[in-house]
Structure formats: C-alpha cells, structure tokens
Amino acid sequence: MNGISVVDANSFCVDGYFEETNLVPIRAGDAAQVKLMGHGQVAQPNNQGVANVNAIFTWVRLAQRIPVCIPIDDVPAGIVLVAGMTATVEIDDRT
C-alpha cells in the first residue's frame, strides 16, 4: 500500500508546551524565537532544577503543560524541518 502526504510549506509551526501558571502574559501575536537543537546555540534552562516542595503538604498539584502552536514565518536557508525535532522556544513578554 502506498501513501501520500501533502504538506503546505508555508504552514509549519512549533508546539511549545508551557506551564498553565505561565500562560497569563502570553498573547496571540507575541513574537517568539525558536532555536533548534543542533543548529546554532540553544538557550539553556536555568539551573534551578526540580522545584522544592514543602514537606508539610500531603499532596502536590503540579501545573499542567499546555500546547501552544507557534507558526513559523521564516525558515532559515539550509534548515530542514523534521517532525519531532527538539527546540527551545522563547516568547517576547513585552516587559
């Protein structure tokens, strides 16, 4: 069985997964920068690691990760996008 996929080369997007507690300042139309792992410098996460949880609580509610679709306006020359690539997304928070 043969299959075919039709892809609009002008419709690429990156799914960024943001904690629901960090979504408040993000608005539709905010500028974003996407850095692909293995293509130039990748922004590194801070060194805080796993959050400290106060031991007096008997349960912990963690913020869920919400997918945000970020359309790609311009793919630099020489970059081939492949589904599943790892990327870092930075949102311009306008502050």
Which tokens sit at 19? 């904690």
Alpha-carbon radius of gyration of the chain: 17
To the nearest 10°, report the CA torsion of 75, 28, 69, 42. 50
Does residue 21 sit within a domain?
Answer: yes
Does residue 4 sit within a domain?
Answer: no
Does residue 3 sit within a domain?
Answer: no
**How distant is the alpha carbon of residue 88 from its chain centre?**
6
Q: Of 15, 12, 8, give the one whose Cα is nearest residue 69.
A: 15
Q: Is the pTM of this model over 0.85?
A: no
Tens of pLDDT, residue by residue over 46-78, are: 445 555 556 665 677 788 898 888 888 888 888
Domain count across the chain: 1
Q: Of 22, 14, 15, 16, give the one whose Cα is nearest residue 62.
A: 22
Tally of helices (H runs) and strands (E runs) in the chain:
0, 4
Does residue 16 sit within a domain?
Answer: yes
- Between 5-9, 27-31, 32-36, 76-80, the lowest mean confidence (pLDDT) is in 5-9
Structural domain of 28: 9-44+54-95
Provide the pLDDT confidence category of residue 44 given band limits of 50, 70 and 90.
Answer: very low
Does residue 2 sit within a domain?
Answer: no
